[in-house]
Structure 1
Amino acid sequence: MNSSAAFHEIVALANALPDVQRKVGGNAATMAARASAEGCTVLSGAAMGVHMKQYFDDPMIQLVRAIEGEEKEDVHLVLEYGRVDAFRGHVSPRANRYYLNHDVHNARLSVLEEFEQTLETFEPDLVVFGGLQLMEVEQDVRARVLRLEALAGVFQNLYAVDTPTHYEFAAVSDFGLFSDTVRLVLPWVDSIGLNEQELFILHHFLVTGKESTATTSRPTIAEIYDIIQFAKDARETVETSRRGKEDDGKHEVTVALAHLSRIHFHTLQFHVVCQRKKGIWEDPTSALVQSALIRSKVACGKPPVPRSGSASDNENEAQSTRTSAEMEVDPERVETLLAREQLLSERQDHKVDLDPLSPVITGQEADFQCHLVPMLACKKPDYTAVLGYNISGTGIAYHRLQKTKTKADVFAE
């Protein structure tokens, strides 16, 4: 939303509602909270004010900078609605949500330079970026591109010192911004996380160069394989350019996804983690299963057991994020939507039958090994917001890097 005044009027109206719920939101904050809950040491580059800081009393989370003085804290408004909910004659075919925000700090990447400076002493194993879709609030396109170029510089510096990076996708409404992100940021990322809408938009954009927002909620694994093939072609283009490059001052060719070594795709029916063989990542099975389970636990899991000595059960009071081990799937509220027989590759005509006792199945595409697990989908979810960030935060926390003895993850928004 472009108007700050109008947005904060809506925030005031929302705050006056009797049943409004207040929770941690946003890519960086949610992923940081989830990763730290699963045992990671985290440096968060999100700009946080006094209200958000209440949720981050965990000593394993280090904040780069807090919002002080008269600066307004970034707020996201989420309107959740369930399947068959009706509004003015329109009936929802599935549970979903409507987002509204006016992020100033995230739109301008206001803590980027401080974040990069802090990285030198933090010495991360992995750096995670997300929330770039919020930059659409910045209407000065040139200023926006300059900030993206600064971010691309951070990615290049991390690449130069062999620090892996992960980019978390989100909803797209400004395709000029999306195009700039693909052009400037994606050439340097090692890992990406995305859902079915984000996969379709990226796939369509890379294949056709055109924008698209229409998609299906029942994607196929074939789209993921197309992304892998695109990444393979991009890598070969860059490698060919390097071999033929002479010391004549020419800039190195950059192509989106040229350094991609990992994809984490999550949808209502299944999760997939694909990674380059002989790459930097260890076996993804634990990360895949844990991230699939966390969605069901957050969206429709069993209610938390009151903690000993708790004086209040007010869910709007600041509480630390529960670990996945403290959460349980409610078997009465979930179902599987994935067919027993799955076509893993049309080109290879590779079909497999899912085994309920051993549900993780594997397949190969180009030089990537892919691992798929069916989802326990919620029949009637309590929430749909921030599920993807919990999923990817868990996946990153459990997916170890080879020859890495520490678990330090960094999240910036």
Structure 2
Amino acid sequence: MLEVEQQYPVGEVRIAVGYGACKDIFVHGADMVGVMTPPSRTAHFNHIDSINQLKEMYALFFSAGSAAERYVANETLFNELLAAAEAVPSSYSALGGNAPVMASRFAKEGAKVLLAAKRSPYIMEKIHPSIIVGGVETEGAEDIHLIMEYKAGENWGSYRAPRANRFILHSDDSNPTLSSVETIDEQLATFDPHLFVVGGLQMMDNFPFAPGIRDERLIAVKNQMISLSPSTRIHFEMASFTDTELLSGLIEHIIPYVDSLGMNEQELPNLYSMMKFGNVSLVSDFNPRVAVVLDQMRDIFRQLQMTPGERGQRRLTRLHLHTLAYQAIMVQKDSTWTNSLAAATKAALTANRHVCGNSEISLEHAKMLMDEGFTLSEADGAGRILFDNHRPVSCWTEGDGKIEVCIAPVLICTSVRHTAGGGDNISAAGLILQV
């Protein structure tokens, strides 16, 4: 896999990334929620107003091993949680948000990057020096996210985590309104990116907007995408959404205008459920079978390849699923997305490097969840691909040769340094070799 990765150096590409940025406070969940009495039940809430709601929802996602990000409506509670986290000796801060994390990965790989985010002192201090930050100057308070991480096998009362993951809390005011959309219009036009990445829209999830404002902000993003040259490809990075109205808004205003989608094992069934049945899937299998996700990917791909009906709409030509055990990339063969095998390979290697916090792959601190092979579909008579140690990344064509699919196994890091930002780094690593 390392040999494949090294065969594809990154060329001179320009990538614009939106929206927003924040300061992340990392803390071990066991030092926060874990010291509290476990709740007698698990429960889901659209936003958090009390410690009891936090405990019940943390227990829900902790026991499922699923990532979650929720808005804390009670600002006093959020500030108390932040103070408690910062008092933990092992806690630390880092630049956060989907857009800055993906932008940083692109820059590390050699791309020229424009980031749509506020130019606050913390962001300008922490951002990769080559990145152009296109937002407004601000001296105001930072938007802060609290990231509580846990490891596989951790226990909290009767609850047990099946895999390492994180639970994120925020109480932002500016990031949910996508305040940096309009501030980069002029720079975006002159920058003329090869790729435009849209992320951070989960900040709008369950945020208390005035009536009609959220749709207005989504339409502003749509208009920005429509303003781009048809030669600029557009990627939308999914996230954890629970608000049905917001997800419906994304399906109406955002997803029909992109060429590529990136998502994890929780976000894929959520989008699939919303598009097919009109409802949200809150918790999903943390290690789904390849056959299951391939069928869901095919269904979404078919629906989003229908003939565009509105100005600026695009047909989906790329879909990247990143899971704990494997990477799956599906592309339209006659599209401009190339190097799918190398992209899936690089994404899989980046998953290990990011979680372990080490640029070198250590087999001593790695394991695989994929077995000796996988079935191509849940349909009767579907073929099966066997795992080959000498050619671990499997690629094939289907749909009369019009679709290419690649599956790359992940060497799962067993010495976890951090999980937050994993999907953003993985998705960016996959994109960088296909632009």
TM range, smaller chain: 0.7 to 0.9
Partner of 1:75: 144
Give the SS at the match of 2:96: coil
Matched-pair contact (CA < 8 Å) for 2:357–2:418: no
Distance in 2 (alpha carbons) for counterparts of 1:332 and 1:234: 42
Distance in 1 (alpha carbons) for counterparts of 2:151 and 2:305: 43
User: Which stretch has the larger CA shift, 215-224 or 29-38?
Assistant: 215-224
Give the SS at the match of 1:23: strand
Percentage identity across paired residues of the two chains: 30
Distance in 2 (alpha carbons) for counterparts of 1:86 and 1:346: 34
**Alpha carbons of structure 1 residues 331 and 48: separation in structure 2 relative to 1, 3 Å:** farther
Give the SS at the match of 1:211: coil
2:260 aligned to which of 191, 200, 203: 191
Aligned length: 359
2:392 aligned to which of 359, 378, 387: 359
Distance in 1 (alpha carbons) for counterparts of 2:321 and 2:280: 20
User: Which stretch has the larger CA shift, 344-353 or 277-286?
Assistant: 344-353
2:351 aligned to which of 292, 295, 304: 295
Partner of 1:148: 218
Partner of 2:78: 7
Matched-pair contact (CA < 8 Å) for 2:348–2:410: yes
Query: Is 1:201 aligned to residue 201 of structure 2?
Result: no
Partner of 2:330: 274
Distance in 2 (alpha carbons) for counterparts of 1:280 and 1:295: 25
User: Which stretch has the larger CA shift, 33-42 or 12-21?
Assistant: 12-21
Structure number with the bigger relative contact order (C-alpha 8 A, sep ≥ 6) is 1
1:173 aligned to which of 216, 234, 242: 242
Deviation at 1:279, TM superposition (A): 0.5
Deviation at 1:382, TM superposition (A): 2.1
Distance in 2 (alpha carbons) for counterparts of 1:52 and 1:150: 24
Distance in 1 (alpha carbons) for counterparts of 2:340 and 2:297: 19
Partner of 2:28: none
Distance in 2 (alpha carbons) for counterparts of 1:7 and 1:202: 29
Matched-pair contact (CA < 8 Å) for 2:353–2:361: yes
Deviation at 1:229, TM superposition (A): 3.5
Distance in 2 (alpha carbons) for counterparts of 1:91 and 1:24: 30
Give the SS at the match of 1:42: strand
Distance in 1 (alpha carbons) for counterparts of 2:311 and 2:101: 35
User: Which stretch has the larger CA shift, 223-232 or 275-284?
Assistant: 223-232
Deviation at 1:224, TM superposition (A): 3.4
**Alpha carbons of structure 1 residues 279 and 392: separation in structure 2 relative to 1, 3 Å:** same
Matched letter for residue 102 of structure 1: S
Alpha-carbon deviations, 1:43-68, whole Å to 9, x = none? 0012242122211251x200012552
Partner of 1:109: 178
Give the SS at the match of 1:275: strand
Deviation at 1:290, TM superposition (A): 1.3
1:52 aligned to which of 116, 123, 127: 123
Distance in 1 (alpha carbons) for counterparts of 2:247 and 2:103: 24
**Alpha carbons of structure 1 residues 272 and 331: separation in structure 2 relative to 1, 3 Å:** same
User: Which stretch has the larger CA shift, 178-187 or 221-230?
Assistant: 221-230
Alpha-carbon deviations, 1:215-267, whole Å to 9, x = none? 111223343343333433443353xx6xxxxxxxxxx3998xx6111111110
Gapped regions of structure 1 (runs ≥ 5): 242-251, 303-326, 401-413
Matched-pair contact (CA < 8 Å) for 1:138–1:144: no
Partner of 1:211: 280
Distance in 2 (alpha carbons) for counterparts of 1:291 and 1:113: 32
Give the SS at the match of 1:100: strand
Matched-pair contact (CA < 8 Å) for 1:300–1:381: yes
Give the SS at the match of 2:266: helix
The normalised TM-score by structure 2 is 0.78
1:261 aligned to which of 317, 337, 352: 317
Give the SS at the match of 1:150: helix
Matched letter for residue 344 of structure 1: L
Distance in 2 (alpha carbons) for counterparts of 1:57 and 1:94: 31
Distance in 1 (alpha carbons) for counterparts of 2:301 and 2:240: 22
Distance in 1 (alpha carbons) for counterparts of 2:338 and 2:280: 35
The normalised TM-score by structure 1 is 0.82
Distance in 2 (alpha carbons) for counterparts of 1:279 and 1:40: 21
Distance in 2 (alpha carbons) for counterparts of 1:7 and 1:214: 24
RMSD of aligned alpha carbons: 2.1
Matched letter for residue 279 of structure 1: S
Partner of 2:365: 333
**Alpha carbons of structure 1 residues 399 and 237: separation in structure 2 relative to 1, 3 Å:** closer
Gapped regions of structure 2 (runs ≥ 5): 1-71
- For 1:305-316, list aligned pairs within 5 A: none
Matched-pair contact (CA < 8 Å) for 1:296–1:378: yes
Deviation at 1:19, TM superposition (A): 1.6
Query: Is 1:399 aligned to residue 434 of structure 2?
Result: yes
Matched-pair contact (CA < 8 Å) for 2:215–2:249: yes
Partner of 2:15: none
Deviation at 1:83, TM superposition (A): 2.1
User: Which stretch has the larger CA shift, 102-111 or 188-197?
Assistant: 102-111
Matched-pair contact (CA < 8 Å) for 1:107–1:138: no
Matched-pair contact (CA < 8 Å) for 2:306–2:315: no
**Alpha carbons of structure 1 residues 54 and 286: separation in structure 2 relative to 1, 3 Å:** same
Give the SS at the match of 2:306: helix
Distance in 2 (alpha carbons) for counterparts of 1:236 and 1:392: 25
Matched letter for residue 102 of structure 2: M
Distance in 1 (alpha carbons) for counterparts of 2:299 and 2:134: 38
Matched-pair contact (CA < 8 Å) for 2:295–2:378: no
Deviation at 1:141, TM superposition (A): 4.1
Matched-pair contact (CA < 8 Å) for 1:359–1:374: yes
Give the SS at the match of 1:107: helix
Query: Is 1:36 aligned to residue 107 of structure 2?
Result: yes
